[in-house]
Amino acid sequence: MAAITGLPPVLVLVVVFVLPALESSTLLGVVVPGEIAVLLGGVVAHGGRLPLWAVLVVAAAGAAVGDQVGYLLGRRYGPGLLARAPERIRRSPVLDRARALIRTRGAVAVVLGRWTAVLRTVVPAVAGAGGMARMPFTVANVTGGLLWAAAVSVLGYLGAASYHYLERRLSIGGEVLFGVVAVVVALWIWRQRVATRRAPD
């Protein structure tokens, strides 16, 4: 944990911005969910090297910018952009689910899609390719990005608080406890992906 909380604050903020920004603009979110960077930011904020509000604002900005780029790419290149997506996406039901969400829920789907890693990656492009108007998308994008950034950064902050509390009260070695926390985060991300694949349209 000390290795994480000791990272340079500027580097942490750069990662907190860049990783969410690349999720839907480059489809990186299929491989590396943006939650990882934002959770890291929350942990560092608990260590006192960054204000939590800065992590929240930077994460929300990265999420909004990345999704806006994904939307504009979908609007510019249409369904052909998604046809060139990685095979993992094209063969999964996630594209059909994203299209169904956009078709039935409109801009609300942009907010809902932000809470699942794979949907978050493709919903902006699907919205753009499907012809959603720019203003409703942008409002939903910013709203969803703020809510998501707040929830995940606070989760990282509270997770670090729980870590330090347990370390003091139970005298658990830092390396062991950090390993447990890492496993819990990995399982959470894995469950999100499984839920996305199994969810009905």
Residue type, 190: W
Tell me the two tokens of residue 183: 């496993």
Q: What percent of the chain has pLDDT over 70?
A: 72
3-class DSSP assignment, residue 92: coil
Residue 60's domain comprises 2-198
3-class DSSP assignment, residue 145: helix
Alpha helices by DSSP H, the chain? 2-5, 9-25, 35-46, 52-77, 79-83, 87-90, 94-105, 107-113, 117-129, 134-170, 174-198
Task: Give 2-15 pLDDT, tens digit per residue.
Answer: 555 567 889 989 99
Task: Give 150-174 pLDDT, tens digit per residue.
Answer: 999 998 888 777 655 544 544 444 4
**Distance from C-alpha of 176 to C-alpha of 196, rounded to nearest angstrom:** 31
Cα–Cα distances in angstroms (integers) from residue 27 to residues 34, 51, 128, in the given order: 11, 29, 15
**Residue 30 carries which DSSP code?**
G
Radius of gyration of the CA atoms of the chain, in A: 18
Which residues, in sequence order, are CB contacts of 136 under 8 Å at separation 6+? 106, 107
pLDDT range class, residue 56, cuts 50, 70, 90: very high
* pLDDT score at 100: 87
Angle at 153 between CA 110 and CA 14, to 5 degrees: 90
Mean pLDDT computed over 125-150 = 93
Number of domains in the chain: 1
Task: Give 76-107 pLDDT, tens digit per residue.
Answer: 887 777 777 667 666 777 778 888 889 888 89
* 74, pLDDT greater than 60: yes
CB 83 within 8 A of CB 90: yes
**Residue 173 carries which DSSP code?**
-
Three-state SS sequence of 35-73 = HHHHHHHHHHHHCCCCCHHHHHHHHHHHHHHHHHHHHHH
* 39, pLDDT greater than 80: yes
